[in-house]
Amino acid sequence: MFNKFPISFEYDGIHYRGEIQPLQSSLQHRIPTTFQVVLNNVYCGLVKRKGTGWETDSPKCAIMVDIIGNHIYDWYE
């Protein structure tokens, strides 16, 4: 089981704070590749690692997907 972890960043003058929940359904080298994202108490959808980039199923976090993805990547480094 993977534990959720915090995220905090600023984008376009707005401060975002929330949690990222790794999902066990998809692993690569024992590290999750799919994550549920909640920002400012609002569910923002799934963020998935695809090759060397990130994608999301939600227009809510599409413009911030790289920022979120980089935060996830840094968490596992």
Model confidence, pTM:
0.91
The pLDDT value recorded for residue 14 is: 96
The contacts of residue 63 (CB under 8 Å, 6+ apart) are: 11
pLDDT (tens digit, 0 to 9) for every residue of the chain, 77 residues total?
A: 689 999 999 999 999 999 999 998 888 888 899 999 999 999 999 999 988 899 999 998 899 999 999 999 999 88
The pLDDT value recorded for residue 61 is: 87
Grouping H, G, I as helix, E, B as strand and the rest as coil, residue 63 is helix
The pLDDT value recorded for residue 16 is: 97
Task: List phi, psi (to 5°) of 52.
Answer: -100, 5
The pLDDT value recorded for residue 13 is: 97
- Structural domain boundaries of the chain? 5-76
The pLDDT value recorded for residue 17 is: 98
Single-letter residue type at 72: I
